[in-house]
Amino acid sequence: MSRVVELKHPLVRHHMAMLRDKNTPTYIFRDQIRRLTLLLAYEATATLPVEPIEIETPLCKTTCKHVETRMGLVPILRAGLGMCDAVQDLIPQAEIWHLGFYRDESTLEPVEYYQKFSDHPPEIAFILDPMLATGGSACEAIAMVKKWGVNKISMLCTIASPEGIEKVQDVHPDVTIFTCAIDECLNENAYIVPGLGDAGDRIFNTL
């Protein structure tokens, strides 16, 4: 798990408690996803390259730093959409591209149903999905983003299972996973335990 970053900040623990609570209403759940995504994005962008730029303050000219790298956000539909706005608050210039998967309940394998990429891939991609469970969708998404032509990829997820992390790291050892919590395990139905339920249903109030 050398390329896995689990956030340990006290605010992460605080917001995670509210996120996991089954009694947390949808609007607060969405807010918690947003707050945690901001913290994930802050950590995941810590090593972005910067370039010097000369500006003029009200007092004088000075040299500052800015980010020129072209970046893309790739939310895995539909739950990943709940993370986009928070990342764009930090990176307004980031593009958003989409991948859609659903889980075949008989095989537990991901089935692609939507893809929207451009002809010109960004330099860096952040794959967004609140939950990394079996790792199937994550591995497929990473493979598709690599095929698109992106060489530097990170995955941001609110919670992750050890099984999902292991699978992603086995198949894509060059990808860094940023998560707010590594949970205990997957149950017999491949749901994360203790987990937080179905993130998509809770974000979009479709329980």
Residue ranges of domains in the chain, CATH in brackets? 4-204 (3.40.50.2020)
Distances (CA, A) of 161 to 22, 51, 56, 180: 19, 37, 48, 11
- What is the reported pLDDT for 1? 45
Give me the pLDDT at residue 109, please: 76
Closest by Cα among 191, 181, 189 to 156: 181
Cis peptide preceding 34, ω within 30 of 0: no
Separation between Cα atoms, residue 201 and residue 207, nearest integer Å = 5
User: Token match 């993370």: residue?
Assistant: 83
* Predicted confidence (pLDDT) per residue in 75-107, tens digit: 998 899 999 999 999 999 999 999 988 877 777
List active site positions.
Answer: 103, 107, 198, 201
181-185: which pairs have CB atoms within 8 A and are 24 or more residues apart? 181/6, 181/12, 181/16, 182/4, 182/6, 183/159, 185/161
Tokens of 206: 């479709």
Q: How far apart are CA 48 and CA 41, in angstroms?
A: 11
Question: Residue 143's closest CA among 107, 175, 102?
Answer: 175
* Amino acid 111: pLDDT: 82
Widest CA span in the chain: 66
Is 98 exposed, middle or buried, given 0-12, 13-18 or 19+ CB atoms closer than 10 A? middle
By CB atoms closer than 10 A (0-12, 13-18, 19+), residue 155 is buried
Tens of pLDDT along the chain (207 residues) come to: 469 999 999 999 999 999 999 999 999 999 999 999 999 999 999 999 999 999 999 999 999 999 999 999 999 988 999 999 999 999 999 999 999 888 777 776 788 888 899 999 999 999 999 999 999 999 999 999 999 999 999 999 999 999 999 999 999 999 999 999 999 999 998 899 999 999 999 999 887
Q: What is the DSSP letter of 189?
A: T
Q: Which residue has the tokens 């962008």?
A: 45
pTM here is: 0.92
**pLDDT score of 113:** 86
